[in-house]
Structure 1
Amino acid sequence: MSNSDVLAPQKQAETPPITPMPTAPPASDMENQSGASGILRRWKREDLLKRGSLALRGLALLFSLLSFIIMASNKHGDGRNFDQYEEYRYVLAIAILSTLYTGGQALRQVHELSTGKFYFSRRNLALLDFFGDQIMAYLLISSASAATPMTNRMREGADNIFTDSTAAAISMSFFAFLSLAVSALFSGYKLANHSYI
């Protein structure tokens, strides 16, 4: 046996085996993966916005309805009725409008979420949501701020069930305003970030 035959197996044993290097996926596959995850994230965000908007409108409906009921039932045997004061009639009128608006919007959104069908184009619905929420929020805070000074003056003279009821109706209008104001922010975000505008 020659020296070269003895050394040959040792050289083979000393060299490590060559492992193939992992290859990166093609650029188009990476773009498709990130694009798909981006679309999924956007769908989840849109679904969260829809559900959040529905919850806020449901709260606004509840508060508006409470304001309407409390103010409409604020009639007492001592001759003090809400309809003797313009400010309180204004609170009642805006509470009725807010109840109708938020009730209609909540029903529309429940129908859209359950069936996936839209009554109007998505662009028109986004505009309706944005402007409707802002207008109703403005009217609610306007009515609450118009009736608050009169209620404070009445409470200085005599704090009774009439003033307590008016204060409760005003506070419900204010809570309805807060709910619609946040809903208007959601509507503005949806309006600004959609490509159909």
Structure 2
Amino acid sequence: MSNPDHPTLEKEAESPAPTAPPVASDIENQTPVIRYGVTAIEKRWSREELLTKVSMGLRGSGCLFSFLAFVIMASNNHGDNEDFNEYEQYRYVLAMAIISMVYTGVQAVRQFVELYTGKQWLSTASLQWINFCGDQILAYLLISATSSAIPLTDSMKFSTDYDPVFIESSAAAISMEFLAFLVLAVSALISGYQLSHQSYI
């Protein structure tokens, strides 16, 4: 029987009991989930760092191959009729070697500085797009230059009008440029993978 003189006692009796705080066992049950999330994040960071190092190594190799192609082709002058500058295909090879050397060199230095300092020049999304588009375009230009110069070099091999040293030097420059294409093609695959797995949250 309720007491009209004490309404507060009736309300207290009808109110639900307070919820008990979580016990230690409940908190311990959530620990594996937290550890799994932290481990997944750490693995992702390690994978991204490894891919960045591999990409830096590939671009450094591309810069070296492009430099060799540039030096060999630029010095390929063995007479009045045996100058690389007389052939449009070889000028194209030289131009692409210079562009590739500058691009891969700048990219390799940028990645090295970012790994060493931990600071990025641009946002991650912008860098991923630049890497992907730059690698794709330059790889295409390199294979285009080598494809245009190979038929000319092959035709010279069947002619006695050209110095064998000139032909071999041209072939060596083309080979270095093709190697630069290969490493940039692999770098483009890595850039595409990083771009497709980029988080925008």
Asked if these proteins are the same fold (TM beyond 0.5), I'd say yes
Q: Letter of the aligned partner of 1:172 in structure 2?
A: M
How far off is 1:78 after superposition? 5.2
1:181 matches 2:185: yes
Q: Letter of the aligned partner of 2:129 in structure 1?
A: L
Q: Distance in 1 between matches of 2:178 and 2:79?
A: 28
Report the counterpart of residue 148 of structure 1 in structure 2.
Answer: 150
How far off is 1:26 after superposition? 3.7
Q: Distance in 2 between matches of 1:32 and 1:150?
A: 63
Report the counterpart of residue 46 of structure 1 in structure 2.
Answer: 48
Q: In the TM superposition, what whole-angstrom CA distance separates every residue of 1:5-49 from its partner, at most 9, and x where no partner exists?
A: xxxxxxxxxxxxxxxxxx898442111111111111111101110
RMSD, aligned CA: 1.6
Report the counterpart of residue 195 of structure 2 in structure 1.
Answer: 191
Q: In the TM superposition, what whole-angstrom CA distance separates every residue of 1:83-139 from its partner, at most 9, and x where no partner exists?
A: 000000000000000001001101111110111111111111000000000000000
1:103 matches 2:102: no
Question: If the length of structure 2 is used for normalisation, what is the TM-score?
Answer: 0.83
Q: 2:167 aligns with which of 163, 166, 191?
A: 163
Q: Distance in 2 between matches of 1:163 and 1:190?
A: 41
Report the counterpart of residue 120 of structure 2 in structure 1.
Answer: 118
Question: Percent identity at matched positions?
Answer: 53
Q: In the TM superposition, what whole-angstrom CA distance separates every residue of 1:22-81 from its partner, at most 9, and x where no partner exists?
A: x89844211111111111111110111010000000110000010011000000135310
Q: Distance in 1 between matches of 2:200 and 2:72?
A: 42
Q: Distance in 1 between matches of 2:80 and 2:86?
A: 13
- Counting matched residue pairs gives 175
Q: 1:131 aligns with which of 129, 133, 140?
A: 133
Question: If the length of structure 1 is used for normalisation, what is the TM-score?
Answer: 0.85
Q: Letter of the aligned partner of 1:152 in structure 2?
A: D
Structure 1: state its 5+ residue gaps: 1-22
Q: Distance in 2 between matches of 1:70 and 1:25?
A: 68
> Following TM superposition, where does structure 1 have runs of at least 4 consecutive aligned residues deviating by more than 3 angstroms?
23-27
Structure 2: state its 5+ residue gaps: 1-24
